[in-house]
Amino acid sequence: MSKRAVDMTFQALYTLTDIRVLLRETAPSHEFDKDQRVQAERLLENLERQVGSLKQEMLK
């Protein structure tokens, strides 16, 4: 296991935290305006990348 795996774990948790805050800001309907949709797309892309890197590190 590597420092990178640990970093990626934290980064993914932090990205999920940003997603959580977006859900709070848009409660209760969670209907996103244009900017929020862009933000959600970016966060989800980051999360996928971070989980991908984590998978690479942990299963190599």
Partner 1 sequence: MKCGNGIEARQVNELFINIDPIQAGGRLTADAMKAVVAYGDGYSVCDNCRKPNRLDYISKPPIAQFHKDVAAWLNMDAMRTVPGARRGFQAVAQTYVGKGEPVLLTSLSHYTEFLAIEEAGGIAREIPADGHKLVTPDAAATKIEEVKREFGRPPVLAFIDHVDYQYGNMHDVAGIAKVAHQYDIPVLYNGAYTVGILPVDGKALGVDFVVGSGHKSMAAPAPSGILAATAERASEVFRTTSIIGDVTQRRFGIKEPEMMGCTLMGATLVGMMASFPHVKERVKHFDRELENQRIVMDTLLSIEGTKCLSEYPRTHTMTRIDTTASFDKVAETHKKRGYYLSSALEEHGITGVIPGATKVWKFNTYGTTKKQALHLAGAFVAIARENGIAIKE
Burial of 36 (0-12, 13-18, 19+ CB in 10 A): middle
Shortest Å, Cβ 41 to partner 1: 18
Distance linking the first and last C-alpha atoms of the chain: 9
Q: Is 17 in the site for partner 1 (CB under 8 A)?
A: yes
Task: Out of 6, 21, 38, 58, name the contact with partner 1 by CB under 8 A.
Answer: 21
By C-beta, is 33 or 59 nearer to partner 1? 33
Collapsed DSSP state (helix, strand, coil) of residue 2:
coil
Q: Which residues bind partner 1 (CB under 8 A)?
A: 10, 13-14, 17-18, 20-21, 23-25, 27-29
